[in-house]
Structure 1
Amino acid sequence: MTNKLIASREALENFEFITINGKVEFNDVNNVVKIAYYYSKAVRAGVNLALRGVNLNDAVKSLYKIIPYAFYAETAYKQALTLLGNGGSKVEVRRRWFACRGNKSDKGNRGIRFHVEDDHVLVKVKDPWGKWVVGRAYFGKNYLLLLRELEELSSEREEGYGAVISFKDGVKIHLQVPLWLYLKYFSTPKMQGYGFVAGFDLNSDRLNVVVIDRQGRVVTTRTYWYLEVTRPGYPMEKARTLRLSALSQSLKFLTRIGVDYVVFEDLFVIKRRSFTKNKSANRKISKFAKKQMLIHGGIKALRLGFNVILVNPKGTTSSDNHERVMRLRGFDRHMASAYLIALRGLEVIKNN
Structure 2
Amino acid sequence: MSGRQPLWLLMLLLASAALLGLGLAIGSTGWSPWLGASAGDAAMQLILWDIRAPRSLGAWLAGALLALAGAIAQGLFRNPLADPYLLGCSAGASLGVALLLFCVVGLSPAATALALRLGMTGAAFAGAVGAVLLTLLLARGVEQTLRLLLAGVIVGVVLGSGSALLTLMNPDILRAMQAFMLGSTGYVGWSAVQIMAATLLLCLLLAQGCARTLDALSLGEATARSLGVRLAAVRLLLIGALALATGAAVAQCGLIAFVGLVAPHLVRSWGPCTHRALLLLAPLAGGVLLLAADVLARWVIAPQELPVGVVTALLGGSYLLWLMHRRPRGLGVAR
When normalised by structure 1's length, the TM-score is 0.26
Determine which structure has the larger strand proportion and give its number: 1
Larger radius of gyration: 1
| Relative contact order, higher structure (CA 8 A, sep 6+) | 2
TM-score w.r.t. length of structure 2 = 0.27
